[in-house]
Amino acid sequence: MPPPEFTIIGAGLAGTSLAWALVRRGRTVRLIDREPPVTSSRIAAGLLTPITGKKLSVSWRWGELRPAAERFYRSVEAETGATFFRPRPILRLFTSESERRQFEGKRATFGELATAIDQPPEHVAMPFGGFAMPTAAQLDVRGYLDASREWFRQRGDYISGPAEPDRRAATEGGPYNRDPVGAALCGGPPTAAGGRHLTLHCTGYPPLPPFDAVRFRPAKGEILAVRVPGLNESRVLNRGGFWVAPTTTPDVYRAGATYSWDELTCEPTAAGRAELEASLREVIRLPFEVIGHDAAVRPIVEGQHPRIGLHPQDSSVGFFNGLSSKGSLTAPFFAEQFAAFLCGAGEIEPEVDVQSIM
């Protein structure tokens, strides 16, 4: 069998979306993942939130990223027969009178992104009121990744196991494109399509050489799974950056997430759990039981936007990473943009070119 045109290291949100975008363009891929029990994608709540942060800002490029995400996930649902993308309103609950006033001052600029809450949630504290975001959505990230992995596995395009970066080549200044699963592809041999073989790094955090030169600002996040009998809420509740999101299991919700910039491990901490439980008590007026607790590192890079592109010294290795806290929203659009570029049918926007942060 001829070698694939593209080897993709990492089958999280970035690598999986890029694999779909390339296959749809008729390209051959090989997707590799070492399958640790916890990854950033596998514990993410998958929220797509139009208005975010303390300053109540419209999410970066929401108007183009949100429709692109829905189109993309719907087409993967059609291909795999699985369901994982759900429009799901988010209720933003004000933390204070001044936040409410801030919202009123900006309200006209939000248009259809912010509406009145037509049915106030039961058993929820909202002394300062709030607003609804009807165009929000939730990706069942695990569902998307599992269905995709199975699809690629059945085609013989998926490998389970670690890809080994060529550290020696990296320290000697390249070339970097040794086949990460064994056979030497150094320099990029011809492929079936007559082009070169490219290795695309979609590893989240930490990056592999030679992309360890990319300026990362990673943040650890912890998240709880809680059982709250009687809450009966199908919308997401968000208060001051803390959210409670329904799951497909009745009475079970996910609550998160913390941010910390040290101890960048996937180890949940007692402090993280205490912080999340305290936030949950401020929002929900019902008893709850913690049934799960996870932690992972968000791959955030300088500038906080996703990055795509080829290595400046070796154009046979590429990068798709930096999905930060919004991978569910941004992965489809930038996977499409990178795939179009790799197929000679488009450009990389300077704003997201990895070469500008190396």
Q: Which residues of the chain form contacts with ligand FAD (CB under 6 A)?
A: 9-15, 32-34, 36, 39-41, 43-47, 162-163, 202-204, 208, 221, 223, 256-257, 296, 298-299, 321, 323-329
Asked if residues 292 and 225 have their Cβ atoms less than 8 Å apart, the reply is yes
State the minimum distance, in angstroms, from the CB of residue 159 to ligand FAD.
9
In the complex with ligand FAD, the residue whose CB is nearer, 15 or 188, is: 15
Cα–Cα nearest to 141, from 263, 237, 229, 247: 247
Measured between alpha carbons, how far is 299 from 286 in angstroms, rounded to an integer?
A: 34
Measured between alpha carbons, how far is 20 from 136 in angstroms, rounded to an integer?
A: 24
State the minimum distance, in angstroms, from the CB of residue 220 to ligand FAD.
7
State the minimum distance, in angstroms, from the CB of residue 340 to ligand FAD.
19
State the minimum distance, in angstroms, from the CB of residue 67 to ligand FAD.
16
In the complex with ligand FAD, the residue whose CB is nearer, 59 or 80, is: 59
Measured between alpha carbons, how far is 16 from 168 in angstroms, rounded to an integer?
A: 28
State the minimum distance, in angstroms, from the CB of residue 163 to ligand FAD.
4
In the complex with ligand FAD, the residue whose CB is nearer, 11 or 339, is: 11
The H-or-E segment that residue 333 falls in is helix 327-342
Q: How many C-beta atoms surround the C-beta of residue 169 within 10 A?
A: 17
Measured between alpha carbons, how far is 8 from 5 in angstroms, rounded to an integer?
A: 10
In the complex with ligand FAD, the residue whose CB is nearer, 203 or 316, is: 203
Measured between alpha carbons, how far is 207 from 135 in angstroms, rounded to an integer?
A: 33
Q: Token pair for residue 328?
A: 């569910």
HSE value, Cβ hemisphere, 13 Å, CA-based, for 87: 8
Asked if residues 79 and 266 have their Cβ atoms less than 8 Å apart, the reply is no
State the minimum distance, in angstroms, from the CB of residue 42 to ligand FAD.
7
In the complex with ligand FAD, the residue whose CB is nearer, 36 or 173, is: 36
Cα–Cα nearest to 256, from 218, 288, 221: 221
State the minimum distance, in angstroms, from the CB of residue 104 to ligand FAD.
27
In the complex with ligand FAD, the residue whose CB is nearer, 130 or 204, is: 204
Distances (CA, A) of 188 to 3, 55, 176, 179: 11, 47, 10, 9
In the complex with ligand FAD, the residue whose CB is nearer, 38 or 117, is: 38
Buried/exposed code over 172-194 (b: 16+ C-beta within 10 A; e: otherwise):
eebbbbbbbbeeebbebeebeee
